[in-house]
Amino acid sequence: MNVLRYQKGRQKGVSLYNALIYMSVIGMLFAVVMHIVPAYMDNMGLRGAFDALDNQVGITKMSKKKIKAILNKQLTVNNVRGLPMENLVVKKEKGKLTVTLNYEKRIPLIQNLSLLIDFKNQYEAVSH
């Protein structure tokens, strides 16, 4: 009878070893999230800059250089830095404007372990 009471009392709660493992896993997940969030915030700023192109009158008739300048200005306003603007592609054909910026963001975690996030962004406008 004493054996049953001893086992029942011993099975309550989490052991120190398991608590340390749980805390380590939670800490690693938190660190990964804290590294990923800025990359996604920058991409959201880029999408905001693409959305701001809708407010430009005659965007489909503007030169490619002017469109890139507008995007750069909007990215500066959105405090987005470090995007590879050399990957920015502006295509104009038959009254349709397509702006594309696809890029990869490599985020170093520890030593030789990195995260690679692939962003694909596209904006389209059609002249009326």
The whole model's pTM is what? Answer: 0.77
**Model confidence over 57-103: pLDDT tens digits?**
888 889 999 999 999 999 999 899 889 999 999 999 988 999 999 99
Whether residue 46 lies inside any domain: the answer is: yes
Tokens of 41: 């915030």
Phi (first) and psi of residue 76, to 5 degrees: -65, -40
Nearest alpha carbon to residue 75 among 97, 94, 98, 99: 99
Whether residue 1 lies inside any domain: the answer is: no
In this prediction, residue 4 carries a pLDDT of 55
- pLDDT band at 116; cut points 50, 70, 90: very high
Using the predicted structure, report yes or no on whether residue 8 has a pLDDT greater than 80: no
In this prediction, residue 10 carries a pLDDT of 59
Whether residue 3 lies inside any domain: the answer is: no
Whether residue 55 lies inside any domain: the answer is: yes
Mean pLDDT value across the chain: 89
Structural domain total, the chain: 1
Whether residue 69 lies inside any domain: the answer is: yes
Whether residue 59 lies inside any domain: the answer is: yes
In this prediction, residue 90 carries a pLDDT of 94
* DSSP sequence for 37-74: HHHHHHHHHHHHHHHHGGGSTTGGGS-HHHHHHHHHHH
Whether residue 5 lies inside any domain: the answer is: no
Averaging pLDDT over each range in 22-26, 56-60, 109-113, which range is the top one? 22-26
Using the predicted structure, report yes or no on whether residue 44 has a pLDDT greater than 60: yes
d(CA 101, CA 120): 6
Whether residue 19 lies inside any domain: the answer is: yes
d(CA 64, CA 99): 9
Helix (H) or strand (E) holding 25: helix 16-52
* Residue range(s) defining the domain that contains residue 96: 11-126
Contact (CB, 8 A) for 109 and 77: no
